[in-house]
Amino acid sequence: MKTMRMMAVAAAAFCAAGAVQAQEPLKIGMITTLSGPGGYLGQDIRDAFQLAIDMQGGKLGGVPVQVLVEDDGLKPGQGKQISEKFMKTDKVKLLTGIVFSNVALAVVPDVLEDGGIYVSPNAGPSNLAGKECHANYYVVSWQNDSLHESAGSNANNLGYKKAFILAPNYPAGKDALEGFKRAFKGEVIGEVFTKLDQNDFAAEIAQIRAAKPDFIFQFHPGGAGIAFLRQYQQAGLLDTVPMVVPSPSMDAVTLKAIGEAAVGVNVSAQWNNDLDNAANKAFVEAWKKKYNDRPITYYASQGYDTALAIGAALKGTGGKVDDAKAFRTAMLKADFASVRGNFKFGNNQHPVQDWYSMKVVKGDGGAPIIKTMGKISSNTGDFYAKDCKL
């Protein structure tokens, strides 16, 4: 009797295994930064990506998918190990998730060389946007320089003429100032490189006061940016010399940390939670339902859009990723409703999209919010697209 029952259970188990085999979900490998001070960026991308899948009933574009998530800890070497494990052990062909450009530069070229497909929800380094662009590399977020160019255009639109600009003395800081200057039409009357680990900016703030610019542009990622803004406000300058920043310097999480001190800061970004389109409303509502008070960041919107973009491509190929050419044809159609409104891929497979001007204002509930003021530019591609021969 006992053996009979065991055999029945075993048989049932085999049948179940067979059934699972038949609808084995497509694996998507997500390498992202979940720990460290920048950990919330990866967490938002991961959770919004999963939210898009949940909203489609565990599928993307009608295809059941399973996301494998690993933390790169902002270490390029670790990211590389994870990508090798995904591709060799788990047989994953489609990868996404990387937050920081230095990790992307270590991981992406090898993934592409091994025949993989990579879709970026955040990092868009210039090296991979121009001459080195690749048929199987897609960026859904933005090319890095666009963030700072949009800030420069924002300053033009706001009517500012004399700029004082600051960024830390390291590659991304220098790119930020270059990007800003490329778009800004006025005069740069002061340019300061701060130390990368600096968090007291009294000397720089005194220089700004003496230089009397129309406004300042500053890019300081992480805790340093928040310290800068607070000290700037304490010095009484925020009321007299306005500040223009790119979106990484002012997202919903940093705003929550800074609070009132941020009121009046000008931001530019490709998305905001108050953008008036159906896709965005559905996304914001679903996020609030699942996570309540948790702030929705640009990163979350990018993770969500990345999932939708992949879903549109999978729908086009019937869930197949083995034929990279067919996948590319379907992907480049960008046949999905982006939460930022207009969206298409340029010739270098980076976005051509609209940029919005925003401002931190006092919200109805007392806590400050980021409010969309208007459009900075429409259907904007990036500076490096002209060098790409795809």
Binder among 4, 17, 19, 210 for another protein (CB under 8 A) = 210
Which of 44, 26, 47, 36 lies closest to 95, judged by CA?
26
| Cα torsion 365, 367, 150, 205: sign | positive
| Cα torsion 375, 377, 381, 383: sign | negative
Q: Tell me: does residue 235 bind another protein (CB under 8 A).
A: yes
Q: Tell me: does residue 259 bind another protein (CB under 8 A).
A: yes
Burial class (CB in 10 A: 0-12, 13-18, 19+), 322: exposed
CA distance 118 to 375: 30
Residue pointed to by tokens 């990036």:
382
Q: Tell me: does residue 206 bind another protein (CB under 8 A).
A: yes
| Distances from the Cα of 324 to the Cα of 201, 320, 321, 334, 351, angstroms | 50, 9, 6, 16, 20
CA distance 27 to 289: 27
Which H or E run contains 183?
helix 171-183
Tell the smallest beta-carbon distance from residue 209 to another protein (Å): 7
DSSP class of 41: H
Which CB atom, from 177 or from 269, has the smaller least distance to another protein? 177
CA distance 156 to 169: 25
Which of 206, 142, 209 lies closest to 376, judged by CA?
142
Binder among 115, 236, 363, 374 for another protein (CB under 8 A) = 236
Quick one: which segment of 106-114, 255-263, 290-298, 325-333 binds another protein (CB under 8 A)?
255-263
Q: Tell me: does residue 100 bind another protein (CB under 8 A).
A: no
Q: Tell me: does residue 39 bind another protein (CB under 8 A).
A: yes
Q: What are phi and psi of 122, to 5 degrees?
A: -150, -75
Q: Strands, DSSP E only, in 213-328?
A: 215-218, 243-246, 266-269
Quick one: which segment of 49-57, 130-138, 198-206, 339-347 binds another protein (CB under 8 A)?
198-206
Which CB atom, from 80 or from 209, has the smaller least distance to another protein? 209
Binder among 66, 234, 378, 379 for another protein (CB under 8 A) = 234
CA distance 47 to 65: 15
Quick one: which segment of 16-24, 128-136, 187-195, 303-311 binds another protein (CB under 8 A)?
187-195
Using CB under 8 A as the binding rule, the residues of this chain from 9 to 38 that contact another protein are: 35-37
Total of residues contacting another protein (CB under 8 A)? 36
Binder among 209, 281, 359, 371 for another protein (CB under 8 A) = 209
Binder among 66, 169, 329, 378 for another protein (CB under 8 A) = 169
Which CB atom, from 118 or from 298, has the smaller least distance to another protein? 298
Q: Tell me: does residue 197 bind another protein (CB under 8 A).
A: yes
Binder among 127, 207, 277, 347 for another protein (CB under 8 A) = 207
Which CB atom, from 41 or from 108, has the smaller least distance to another protein? 41
Binder among 54, 110, 113, 200 for another protein (CB under 8 A) = 200
Binding to another protein by CB under 8 A, coded x per residue (else -) over 120-149, reads: ------------------------------
Which of 253, 23, 28, 224 lies closest to 121, judged by CA?
28
Site residues for another protein per CB under 8 A: 35-37, 39-40, 169, 174, 177, 191-195, 197, 199-200, 202-204, 206-207, 209-210, 222-224, 226-227, 230-231, 234-236, 257-259
